[in-house]
């Protein structure tokens, strides 16, 4: 029996495949380094937002401290590479696992908190980690860690001459996060997450185990965020607490999902495609020299989208698609 859900999920997979193909050829005609960098950063944040979306969107636990998991992914993979000569593709997995472990550790006490109490606890834990990292010399302290160049290769995940390999690394990351979300959305745990988000009491009465469901979301979300962090560290070649473990970064990880539509497959992608270029362009054209005008624009955009499209920008497309189908 072909019902609406099955048809929708097949269509999503098809659109996803087409999008992947388009994104794979997108950078080929664009040789400009600036543009390629912009696309890479946008894709990275699309993936990170999708990772956040699993906990914050589907499961409804609004984490405002996801830079913690990002930072752990960065530190673990970087320190393994710098001090232990372990190739980043392995460090990336280790970083993801470490981030997932910390996400579970954070979730253990925090998932007993509800609503704003949970959100603020996540900010505070991230902030503690930030302050500790600033003061911990073994991991570079406030001055950070430079990643030495050890030769261009996929094993070292270092490419100097061309940004194109990076495009595919990050695209693979986006595909991984998207496929994870797509798979889980249609599975038992995905339904449990959405039930927890909508109504905890009703969910429990139907046998949904609340705490394990939240922990599962935290684990998956933490792992993917950590992997994203490891990729970022290798891409920029330098990490310090301000760039990888800060409060503003935590917000930047969550925002694309919120702008595009929380708890949806396309929301994080749409949100990142709108937000990241806008933010990058406004700070480079309007001057990141501290005029503040870019921040004003950024703030206005967040307020406007939150108030005008509370379901996110993605809902505009959906309405268009429905109208087109009718």
Partner 1 sequence: MPALLEIRNLSKSFGGVAANVQISFDVAEGEILGLLGPNGAGKTSLFNSISGEVTPDSGEILLQGRRISGAGPVACAAAGIARTFQVVRSFDSMTVLENVMVGAFARIASPSAAMAEAAEVIDYCGLVAKIDAPAHGLSPAEKRRLEVARALATKPRLLLLDEMLTGLTPTEAQAGVALVRSVQARGVTVIMVEHVMEVVLPLVSRAVVLNLGRVLTIGTPAEIVRNPDVIRAYLGDRYAPA
Partner 2 sequence: MLETIAQVVLSGLLMGLIYALVAAGLSLIFGLMDVVNFAHGELMMVAMYAVFTLWQVSGLDPFMLLPVVAALLFGLGIAIYRLLIARALSVRFNKGMVQIFVTFGLAIFIRGFAQFVYGGEFRSITGTVLANRTASLGDVYLPLPQLAAAFVCLCAFAGLLAISRTEFGRALEATREDREAVALIGIDRDRIFALGWGLGAATVGVAGVMLAGFYYVSPNVGANFALIAYVTVALGGFGSMLGALAAGLLIGEVEAITAAVLEPSLKQVGMFAIYLAVLMFRPRGLFGKI
**Minimum CB distance to partner 2 smaller for 29 or for 290:** 290
Strand partners, 154: none
3-state secondary structure 275-305: HHHHHHHHHHHCCCCCCCHHHHHHHHHHHHH
Q: How far apart are CA 81 and CA 100, in angstroms?
A: 20
3-class DSSP state of 62: coil
**206 forms part of the interface with partner 1 (CB under 8 A):** yes
List alpha helices for 136-209, DSSP H.
164-185, 188-198, 200-205
Report the partner that residue 161 touches, choosing among partner 2, partner 1, none (CB closer than 5 to 8 A by kind): none
Q: How far apart are CA 293 and CA 283, in angstroms?
A: 8
Query: In the complex, which residues of this chain contact partner 2 (CB under 8 A)?
Result: 62, 64, 109, 112-117, 119-121, 123-125, 127-128, 131-132, 134-135, 247, 251, 255, 258, 262, 290-304, 306-307, 310-311
Q: How far apart are CA 94 and CA 68, in angstroms?
A: 15
**Minimum CB distance to partner 2 smaller for 157 or for 258:** 258
**162 forms part of the interface with partner 1 (CB under 8 A):** no
**Minimum CB distance to partner 2 smaller for 35 or for 311:** 311
**161 forms part of the interface with partner 1 (CB under 8 A):** no
Residue 306: CB minimum distance to partner 1, A: 17
Q: How far apart are CA 130 and CA 176, in angstroms?
A: 28
**Minimum CB distance to partner 1 smaller for 3 or for 161:** 3
**Minimum CB distance to partner 1 smaller for 5 or for 28:** 5
Q: Applying CB under 8 A, which of residues 205, 248, 290, 323 lies at the interface with partner 1?
A: 205
Q: How far apart are CA 314 and CA 262, in angstroms?
A: 9
Residue 59: CB minimum distance to partner 1, A: 12
**Minimum CB distance to partner 1 smaller for 26 or for 200:** 200
Q: Applying CB under 8 A, which of residues 186, 237, 247, 277 lies at the interface with partner 1?
A: 186
Q: Applying CB under 8 A, which of residues 17, 150, 199, 306 lies at the interface with partner 1?
A: 199
Q: How far apart are CA 300 and CA 16, in angstroms?
A: 31
**106 forms part of the interface with partner 1 (CB under 8 A):** no
What is the DSSP pairing of strand 145-146 with strand 238-239?
A: antiparallel
Q: How far apart are CA 257 and CA 135, in angstroms?
A: 32
Residues 6+ apart with CB under 8 A from 36: 27, 30, 163, 164, 167
Q: Applying CB under 8 A, which of residues 163, 194, 214, 279 lies at the interface with partner 1?
A: 194
Contact residues for partner 1 (CB under 8 A)? 1, 3-6, 186-188, 191-192, 194-195, 197-199, 201-210, 263
């Amino acid at each position: 029996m072909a019902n609406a859900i099955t048809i929708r999920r097949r269509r999503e997979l098809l659109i996803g495949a087409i999008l992947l193909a388009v994104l794979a050829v997108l950078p080929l005609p664009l040789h400009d380094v600036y543009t390629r960098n912009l696309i890479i950063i946008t894709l990275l944040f699309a993936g990170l937002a999708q990772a956040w979306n699993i906990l914050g969107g589907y499961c409804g636990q609004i984490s405002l401290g996801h830079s913690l998991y990002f930072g752990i992914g960065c530190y673990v993979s970087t320190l393994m590479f710098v001090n232990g000569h372990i190739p980043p593709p392995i460090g990336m997995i280790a970083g993801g696992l470490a981030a997932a472990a910390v996400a579970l550790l954070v979730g253990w006490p925090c998932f007993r908190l509800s609503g704003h109490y949970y959100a603020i606890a996540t900010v505070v834990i991230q902030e503690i980690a930030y302050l500790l990292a600033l003061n911990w010399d073994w991991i570079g302290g406030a001055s950070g860690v430079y990643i030495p160049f050890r030769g261009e290769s996929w094993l070292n995940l270092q490419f100097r001459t061309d940004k194109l390999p990076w495009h595919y690394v990050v695209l693979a990351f986006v595909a991984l996060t998207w496929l994870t979300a797509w798979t889980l959305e249609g599975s038992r745990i995905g339904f449990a997450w959405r039930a927890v988000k909508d109504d905890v009491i009703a969910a429990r009465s139907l046998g949904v185990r609340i705490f394990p469901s939240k922990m599962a979301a935290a684990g998956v979300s933490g792992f993917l965020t950590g992997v994203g962090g490891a990729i970022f560290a290798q891409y920029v070649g330098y990490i310090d607490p301000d760039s990888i473990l800060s409060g503003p970064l935590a917000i930047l990880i969550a925002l694309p999902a919120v702008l595009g539509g929380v708890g949806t497959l396309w929301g994080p992608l749409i949100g990142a495609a709108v937000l990241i270029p806008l933010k990058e362009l406004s700070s480079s054209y309007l001057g990141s020299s501290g005029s503040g005008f870019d921040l004003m624009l950024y703030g206005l955009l967040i307020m406007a989208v939150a108030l005008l499209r509370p379901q996110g920008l993605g809902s505009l497309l959906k309405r268009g698609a429905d109208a087109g189908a009718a």
